[in-house]
Amino acid sequence: MNIHDFLCPPVESARRTGPHDRIVMSSRVRLARNLRGLAFPGWAKKSERVKALDIIRPAVEGLPQLTGAFSETMDNLGPLDKQILVERHLISREHAAKSSGSGLILNKEESLCVMINEEDHLRMQALRPGLQLRQAWMSIDQVDSDLERKLDYAFSPELGYLTACPTNLGTGIRVSAMLHLPGLVLHEQITQIISSVNRLGMAVRGLYGEGTEALGNVFQVSNQMTLGEIETDIVERLNKVLLQIIEHEENARGVLLEKRPKIVYNQIGRAYGILANAHSIASKETMNLLSLMRLGVDLGEFPNAQRALIDELFVITQPAHLQKQFTEKLVAEERDLLRADMLRERLRDVSRPNPKPAGGSGAALDKRN
Question: How far apart are alpha carbons 166 and 196 in whole angstroms?
Answer: 24
Angle at 175 between CA 171 and CA 178, to 5 degrees: 165
> Is there binding between residue 226 and another protein (CB under 8 A)?
yes
Who's near 19: CB < 8 A, 6+ residues apart? 130, 131, 132
> Is there binding between residue 136 and another protein (CB under 8 A)?
no
- Least Å distance, CB 169 to another protein, is 7
- Least Å distance, CB 35 to another protein, is 9
> Is there binding between residue 81 and another protein (CB under 8 A)?
no
Nearest to 104 by CA among 63, 133, 61: 61
Residues 335-364 that bind another protein (CB under 8 A): none
> Is there binding between residue 47 and another protein (CB under 8 A)?
no
- Least Å distance, CB 66 to another protein, is 20
Count of residues near another protein by CB under 8 A: 45
Using the rule CB under 8 A, which residue among 21, 110, 231, 249 binds another protein? 231
Using the rule CB under 8 A, which residue among 12, 17, 36, 259 binds another protein? 36
Say how many C-beta atoms besides its own lie within 10 A of residue 37's C-beta: 10
- Least Å distance, CB 225 to another protein, is 5
- Least Å distance, CB 221 to another protein, is 11
Residues paired with 126 in a beta bridge:
29, 112
The answer to whether the CB of 67 falls within 8 A of the CB of 59 is no
- Least Å distance, CB 150 to another protein, is 11
> Is there binding between residue 39 and another protein (CB under 8 A)?
yes
Burial per residue of 260-293, b for 16 or more beta-carbon CB atoms within 10 angstroms, e otherwise: eeeebbebbbebbebbbebeebbbebbbbbbbbb
The answer to whether the CB of 369 falls within 8 A of the CB of 304 is yes
Residues paired with 70 in a beta bridge:
106
User: What DSSP designation does 35 have?
Assistant: B
Nearer to another protein by Cβ, of 87 and 231: the residue is 231
Say how many C-beta atoms besides its own lie within 10 A of residue 164's C-beta: 19
> Is there binding between residue 159 and another protein (CB under 8 A)?
yes
> Is there binding between residue 145 and another protein (CB under 8 A)?
yes
Residues 169-208 that bind another protein (CB under 8 A): 169-171, 173, 195, 198, 201, 203-204
Q: Which residues bind another protein (CB under 8 A)?
A: 34, 36-40, 42-43, 119, 141, 144-145, 148-149, 153-162, 164-167, 169-171, 173, 195, 198, 201, 203-204, 224-231
